[in-house]
Amino acid sequence: MTTERSANINIGGDEYTLLLTTKATKDIAGRYGGLENLGDKLMKSENFEMAIGEIVWLITLLANQSILVHNLKHKDAPKELLTEEMVELLTTPVDLATYKAAITEALYKGTKRNVESESDQKNAAVE
């Protein structure tokens, strides 16, 4: 896993890598209408339970991306995927607040390269 595209968190004593993949971006877009709507959705959650549910869903989605990549590359030694219930049982609300920063970092790192590539292309066209 390249650290330039990911952020690490600890769940129940095990380290997980949050990774934004094209698949995760597609799933987020399906749920929120796009990455740009994600922040608004998390901040405007009607209640605390809903906000927790969204963060747990995101953590599970992003942490499972690195596990899915591992399983794709290491078919002989697959790792178990996280479930939302596992994340809920192995974390505390205080953990979730910390994970929000890691989610933001993983999303930023996952989209950063695309933004830089686009601006590089625009600059090249102007020259």
What is the identity of the amino acid at 2? Answer: T
Report field, pTM of the whole predicted structure over 0.85:
no
Q: For the residues 17-43, what does the mean pLDDT come to? A: 83
- Dihedral-angle region of residue 2 (phi above 0 means left; psi in -120 to 50 means alpha; beta otherwise): beta
Annotate 91-103 with b (16+ C-beta within 10 A) or e (fewer): beeebbeebeebb
What's the confidence (pLDDT) of residue 51? 80
Band the pLDDT of 115: cuts 50, 70, 90. Answer: very low
Given a cut of 80, is residue 102 above it in pLDDT? yes
pLDDT digit string, tens, across residues 37-65: 776 666 665 666 778 888 899 999 999 99
Under 8 Å CB-to-CB from 33, ≥6 apart: which residues? Answer: none
CA separation for the pair 61, 94 (Å, rounded): 20
Q: Which residues does residue 8 pair with via DSSP β-bridges, in sequence order?
A: 17
